[in-house]
């Protein structure tokens, strides 16, 4: 997906208009515009210039995301500083300046209209009973305030002329109609004065029919709302900003033993760099020398440092805590784990959740509908016998109290906060759709090896025959399995090594067909393998056959060992449950999800593991290519989450409604998954579902308040409840609606995510 920055949007109607223009470009297959981040994601074969041209034809500005920022030295550093530059809040300072200058003149205007007229505060004697002069003074001040907030008028009337009215159109019309009517009244007063109309009639018209204060207050109050909206929108992107700020700025390279401090953008793949205690690791790399504990909480959310040694991988923005590390750069710039995470969170914000389509449909017709309602209200009151000023006041109130912004922000602000919360905990949603759908799942399917289990077999039982002790059996097993590459052999070798068993050299080592190996020690033939393999080459007492069956029933793999065609013992190896598997599965079931274990292992082993984990259903003996078929069958019963390692389970992850890659480590760019869990903890699946549900609930709350606000306020402004709503009050209400939606989204940060 290509990313663009769109400038000049003010509401959901603008967003809808940009999407409409770009979607009509030949070669564009999908387009999604975010009002929150002013970003646009486009897929298809259309050229960048054609896309930008379409946006400009719609009346807005566009540029390729990061194009301007990357011209700076800092932007080249890791591919993330461009993002930092784009996330910088430039809107709030501009709005603050506009508001400050507006307030200065509004104080003078309100002193005249309320302080002098209502509270009888003093004015220069020239203005005493000089109502025409007072009216002209109000007009001049209103013009100044309207010029200060001229962006509303240029944007609003431009959109109106393009037959695509937006929120600025409502503001511009409301303020302009107030001003135009008041200007008419000024001319009317001048005519009355010229014709010798009594003073009291001028006074009544001056007090009752002028709306210059509304003409000035409407754009000023909307500016307050836009400023509050911009500030709260800025807070919703704090999680992404904090990730961007983590990116290191410098690195210490080593070349022929000489250290040189450079900008991180100068580091290339293959360069050697050194990281001392307390320093951030500048790029992704492999440890060549040294040992240390590395704090990876910036990427995974886990506060416990991870011990690292020679051969281990390290990631940019993690903190070296104690030892000195010499590393070789493996991924730099936009390829680092941090940059991938930032890009993933950013792209997710640019995509659109399915629930947002409700607001999109309304936004496309909202502003024209409001303009029509305002016209009907004005005409209706005139027909009902109201004077022109009252009818106009009600029509203007309808214009300025309506808020399409709240509709446009209802979904993206919650999505951004939810994505940020997930990113801080190592849960990366690739799209807004993934964030929404995860909480709607009915079934959670999990791979066994590496997901429910650790994926690292360990020795569980050592059963020597009568006359042989455990240490002797383990020594024999260590000797024959040492040269084997089988994962089960590695478990025995590791166990013997940790037990301090001395390694005995064997001769004539060879792997044999039928799951077995053979070697000799001083001419004695040693055999190791399955019950079937050893049973065909050595004598086995029925007691040990039963023991092997018992171990298999428990989900363990029995390995039999023989010397000179006589059984010497059995060592059982098993892939053990993750520490958090049972608790996580219990949590999923408590949330109403059916749990299924999908594995290629045999039925007996699978059911033994499933019993320990308390999984609802087991589907065993399925090859990787058959897992997708199993998922397809389950989808007929409800929405399915598939949890796997992101490699062998790729077909199943793609087939499921939501694919979750667990144990991805630093390789976050897993195409087949919709969600990536950085921590390799299955408990994060529970967190992902819970966060999705909390975010979806927040979106529904936002949409409710956005619709409810307009549903109540528009009739109220129209006078259907018998109230006369001043246009200034309508503008104030509009200014707070978007702010309320944004603050409700920020409340999501208080949600305690289940684990």
Which positions are catalytic?
A: 447
**CB-based burial of residue 565 (10 Å sphere; 0-12 exposed, 13-18 middle, 19+ buried)?**
exposed
Closest residue by Cα to residue 32 from 51, 16, 8, 10: 16
**Cα-based distances in Å from 696 to 41, 403, 468, 635, 699:** 22, 22, 63, 22, 5
In sequence order, what are the beta bridge partners of 427?
677
Going by their DSSP bridges, the two strands 658-662 and 640-644 should be labelled as parallel
Q: Name the E strands within 645-749.
A: 658-662, 675-677
- The CB density around residue 583, as the number of other CB atoms within 10 Å, is 16
Residue 506 φ then ψ, to 5°:
-115, 160
Residue whose tokens read 């104080």 = 107
CA–CA separation, 515 and 320 (whole Å)? 45
Going by their DSSP bridges, the two strands 39-44 and 2-7 should be labelled as antiparallel
CA–CA separation, 568 and 404 (whole Å)? 80
CA–CA separation, 720 and 180 (whole Å)? 26
Specify whether the CB–CB gap between 177 and 156 falls below 8 A. no
SS3 284: strand
CA–CA separation, 72 and 433 (whole Å)? 34
Residue 256 φ then ψ, to 5°:
55, 40
Specify whether the CB–CB gap between 350 and 41 falls below 8 A. yes
CA–CA separation, 660 and 452 (whole Å)? 13
CA–CA separation, 578 and 161 (whole Å)? 64
In what order do the strands lie in the sheet containing 28-34? 28-34, 39-44, 2-7, 61-64
The terminus-to-terminus CA distance of the chain in angstroms comes to 32
Please enumerate in sequence order all residues whose Cβ is within 8 A of that of 371, keeping only pairs 6 or more positions apart, or say none.
165, 169, 170, 173, 399
Residue 287 φ then ψ, to 5°:
-70, 125
Specify whether the CB–CB gap between 669 and 341 falls below 8 A. no
When computed from its CA atoms, the radius of gyration of the chain, rounded to whole angstroms, is 35
If you ran DSSP here, which 8-state letter would residue 578 be given?
A: P
């Amino acid at each position: 997906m290509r990313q663009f920055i769109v400038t000049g949007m003010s509401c959901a109607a603008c967003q809808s208009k940009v999407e409409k223009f770009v979607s009509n470009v030949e070669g564009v297959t999908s387009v999604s515009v975010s009002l929150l981040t002013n970003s646009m994601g486009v897929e298809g074969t259309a050229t960048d210039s054609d896309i930008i041209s379409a946006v400009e034809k719609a009346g807005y500005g566009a540029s390729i995301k990061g194009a301007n920022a990357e011209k700076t030295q800092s932007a080249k550093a890791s591919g993330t500083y461009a993002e930092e530059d784009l996330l910088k809040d430039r809107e709030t300072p501009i709005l603050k300046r506009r508001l400050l200058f507006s307030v200065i003149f509004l104080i003078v205007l309100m002193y005249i209209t309320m302080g002098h007229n209502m509270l009888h505060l003093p004015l220069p004697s020239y203005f005493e009973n000089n109502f025409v002069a007072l009216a002209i003074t109000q007009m001049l001040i209103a013009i100044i305030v309207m010029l200060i907030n001229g962006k509303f008028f240029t944007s609003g009337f431009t959109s109106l002329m393009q037959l695509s009215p937006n929120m600025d159109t409502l503001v511009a019309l409301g303020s302009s109609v107030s001003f135009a009517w008041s200007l008419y009244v000024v001319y009317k007063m001048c005519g009355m004065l010229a014709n010798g109309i009594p003073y009291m009639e001028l006074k009544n018209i001056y007090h009752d029919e002028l709306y210059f204060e509304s003409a000035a207050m409407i754009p000023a109050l909307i500016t307050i709302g836009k400023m509050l909206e911009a500030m709260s929108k800025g807070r919703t992107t704090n999680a992404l900003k904090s990730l961007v700020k983590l990116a290191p700025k410098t690195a210490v390279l080593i070349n022929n033993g000489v250290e040189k401090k450079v900008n991180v953008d100068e580091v290339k793949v293959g360069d050697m760099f050194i990281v001392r205690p307390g320093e951030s690791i500048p790029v992704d790399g492999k440890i060549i020398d040294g040992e240390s504990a590395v704090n990876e909480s910036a990427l995974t959310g886990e506060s416990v440092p991870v011990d690292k040694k020679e051969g281990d991988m390290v990631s940019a923005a993690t903190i070296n805590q104690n030892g000195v590390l010499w590393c070789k750069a493996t991924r730099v710039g936009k390829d680092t784990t941090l940059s991938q995470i930032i890009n993933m969170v950013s792209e997710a914000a640019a995509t659109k959740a399915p629930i947002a389509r409700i607001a999109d449909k309304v936004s496309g017709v909202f502003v024209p509908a409001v303009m029509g309602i305002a016209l009907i209200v004005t005409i209706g009151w005139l027909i009902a016998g109201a004077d022109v000023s009252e009818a106009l006041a009600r029509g203007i109130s309808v214009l300025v109290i309506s808020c399409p912004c709240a509709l446009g922000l209802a979904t993206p602000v919650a999505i951004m906060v939810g994505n940020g919360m997930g990113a801080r905990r190592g849960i990366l949603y690739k799209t807004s759709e993934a964030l929404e759908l995860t909480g709607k799942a009915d079934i959670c399917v999990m791979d066994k090896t590496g997901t429910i289990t650790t994926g690292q077999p360990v020795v569980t039982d050592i059963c020597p025959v009568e006359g042989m002790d455990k240490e002797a059996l383990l020594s024999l097993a260590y000797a024959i399995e040492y040269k084997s590459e089988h994962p089960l052999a590695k478990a025995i070798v590791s166990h013997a090594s940790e037990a301090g068993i001395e390694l005995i050299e064997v001769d004539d080592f060879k792997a044999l067909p039928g799951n077995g190996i053979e070697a000799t020690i001083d001419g004695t033939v040693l055999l190791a393998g399955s019950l079937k393999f050893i049973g065909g080459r050595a004598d086995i007492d029925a007691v040990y056959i039963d023991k092997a069956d018992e171990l298999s029933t428990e989900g363990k793999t029995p390995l039999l060992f023989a010397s000179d065609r006589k059984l010497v013992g059995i060592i059982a190896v098993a892939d053990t449950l993750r520490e958090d598997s049972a608790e996580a599965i219990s949590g999923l079931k408590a949330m109403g999800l059916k749990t299924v274990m999908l594995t290629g292992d045999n039925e007996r082993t699978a059911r033994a593991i499933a019993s320990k984990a308390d999984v609802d259903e087991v589907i065993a003996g399925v090859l990787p290519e058959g897992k997708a078929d199993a998922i397809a069958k389950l989808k007929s019963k409800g929405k399915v989450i598939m949890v796997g390692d992101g490699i062998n389970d790729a077909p199943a992850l793609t087939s499921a409604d939501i694919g979750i890659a667990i144990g991805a480590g630093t390789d976050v760019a897993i195409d087949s998954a919709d969600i990536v869990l950085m921590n390799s903890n299955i408990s994060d699946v529970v967190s992902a579902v819970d966060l999705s549900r909390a975010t979806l609930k927040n979106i529904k709350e936002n949409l409710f308040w956005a619709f409810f606000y307009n549903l109540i306020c528009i009739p109220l402004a129209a006078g259907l409840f018998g109230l006369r709503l001043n246009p200034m009050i309508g503008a104030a209400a509009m200014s707070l609606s978007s702010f309320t939606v944004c603050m409700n989204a920020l409340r999501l940060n208080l949600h305690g995510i289940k684990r």
